[in-house]
Amino acid sequence: MHSRLSASRTFARQTRSLWSSPPRCEDKPIMNRYSRTVTQPKTRAMLYATEGIKDDEDFQKAMVGAFRCNRHLLGLGQEIKSSLVESGLIGYQFGTVGVSDGISMGTAGMSYSLQSRDLIADQVETAAGGHWLDGMVVVPGCDKNMPGVLMALGRLNRPGLMVYGGTIRAGSCAGQPQLDLVSAFQAYGQYLQDGKTPEAEAIRYDTVRHACPGPGACGGMYTANTMASAAEALGMTLPGSSSYPAESQEKHDECKTVGAAMRNLIEKNILPRDIMTRSAFENAMVLTMILGGSTNAVLHLIAMAHAVGIKLTIDDFARVSESTPFLADIKPSGKYVMEDVYKIGGIPKILHFLMKNNFIDGNNMTVTGATVGENLERWVHKHGELSASQDVIRPLDKPIKATGHIRILRGNLAPGGAVAKITGKEGLGFTGKARTFDSEEAFVSAVESGSIKKGEKIVVVIRYLGPKGGPGMREMLKPTSLIMGAGLGQDVACLTDGRFSGGSHGFCIGHVVPEAQVGGPIALVEDGDTISVDAVANTMELHISSEEMERRRKAWVAPPIKVTQGTLYKYVKMVEDASHGCITDG
């Protein structure tokens, strides 16, 4: 009980600085009073890619202004507006909120991340609905922004399409493979494993400094690239949008074609609900499995389907996972990045390969006014089919895993379901002793102190991080990166009622329902309990008797909610559980 109350107080202290507070008299004014929360930690790679940061001294300066998830989106929006005008349409450009997970990760700021998806959906719906706009072009660049804007289009059901901001270029550093944001997080775990020596610090610093060389979403098959690919499979983007890098000429060329595409949609009155059908969501789920995409796709696709009146469930993901192989050798568990997908011909070539092998339906309508199949045939006529010589996408007879990496687990620890990310590289089952932590910070401290050791089979349980308890289902990228970076991937499984970044890999189980805050069984786990996970039978069990479970349940006392006002408080009051997509309008 004490640790839960401490966690609540810690969260209050961390988030208090997110709102204004009266200045205090000090000898030297603190200019970075709030920004130092994200500039001082060891993993600040993405900040180096933002405007105004030229060297480390700049992190001491105050950061003031209107933040966008990716700095180039405003420019893309201006190009799109020009295209609309050239097509005889009136273009209005406006923005919405954005939380960059790469900057907020590992801090209390991540509580705003998932919540921002529904806030974005509400804002875009409000702006378009309130101004009676005839259509919408949405330009997201990060994880939650994509489902958020597509939820708004689905609710309004007016002509619209999505232009993805694009993926970042891979970073580079002498003596290391291509880098990305996750490299930066894992570098800290490696630094701890290597004994915090000056040499280890030099490697860690170089990795962080060179991981993010410019604008664009995180480079692997993380949540942003997963959701961009899924949106293309749904038919809500122009062909190629999801795999054009942020700084490519093709991205600018795409923006120039948007006006004609929007005019066609409006003239023919092709609506989002004509495109985002049950079959389209099936295509999106299949592509997510093929690519080894983020578990966040489960939350987001369920919420997007809800926005267009379709009931998608975690059981749909379980069914698709059983019949779909995992083929993509892409980060976080593989070696390639999204830029490499672009180099082999983009997502359209992969979709064509899947259509040719009867994994997806080519008859669905898209924002081009043509079907998926028609778009893909045009693409391969121009660019050729997916080459058998490339090794980014494995052949069907040589998959990385014969079934999908996203596994839907149930058992006495998650009677309402849980979502696991199991690539098979860490095995298909895990049994270990529980180590419980009521906050992310407590687990990080345990790793830093060396109390999580190699050779001990441990199930790390990080709880009170669900949609209500977190609040907002913080992503556990920092914990999983510490585990993998410290070489503990074979010894530690991570179990949480929070969620995982698309960059997480290892033996990861999240989205546990019911969550700890509402008294779910995960709240009743004690240190030393045995937990077993079977990713073939799709089960997860806490090995205690039903009598002991009931005794603990009666003794359990709900901790206070960590917020008492504001947007997160409203979120806690409205949000559904993870198995229902964390929707707020259910």
Known catalytic residues are 501
C-alpha to C-alpha distances, 387 to 191, 222, 327, 348, 358, nearest whole angstrom: 39, 24, 14, 13, 18
Q: How far is residue 159's CA from residue 89's CA, in Å, rounded to a whole number? A: 13
Alpha carbons 334 and 195: distance in angstroms, whole number: 27
What single-letter amino acid sits at 326?
A: F
With the CA atoms of 407, 116, 279 and 377 taken in that order, what torsion angle do they form, in degrees rounded to the nearest 10? -100
Please give the full DSSP string across 428-458, using - where no structure is assigned.
Answer: SEEEEEEEEESSHHHHHHHHHHT-S-TTS-E
Cα→Cα distances 23→18, 38, 65, Å: 14, 20, 19
Cα separation, 444 vs 447, in Å, equals 5
Phi, psi of 326 (to 5 degrees): -100, 115
Rounded distance between C-alpha atoms, residue 42 and residue 559, angstroms: 31
Quote the CA–CA distance of 366 and 159 in Å, as a whole number: 11
Residue 130: count of CB within 10 angstroms of its CB: 8
Angle made by CA atoms 365, 275, 395, in degrees to the nearest 5: 65
As beta bridge partners, residue 530 has 433
> Rounded distance, CA 281 to CA 216, Å?
26
Which conformational region is residue 461 in: left (phi greater than 0), alpha (psi within -120 to 50 degrees), or beta?
Answer: beta
Measured between alpha carbons, how far is 411 from 393 in angstroms, rounded to an integer?
A: 34
Dihedral sign computed on CA atoms, order 66, 219, 280, 406: negative
Does the CA dihedral 564-569-573-575 come out positive or negative? negative
Residue 203 contacts by C-beta under 8 Å, 6 or more apart in sequence?
187, 190, 191, 194
Helix, strand or coil for residue 492?
Answer: strand
Dihedrals phi, psi of 299, to nearest 5 degrees: -60, -50
The residue written with tokens 């379709």 in the block is 310
Q: Which of 214, 216, 222 is nearest to 185 (CA)?
A: 222
What three-state secondary structure class fits 105?
coil
Other CB atoms within 10 Å distance of the CB of residue 45: 26
List CB contacts of 326: < 8 A, sequence separation 6 or more.
289, 290, 292, 399, 400, 401, 403, 404, 405, 423, 424
| Closest among 255, 302, 288, 401 to 354, alpha carbons compared | 288
d(CA 502, CA 296): 7
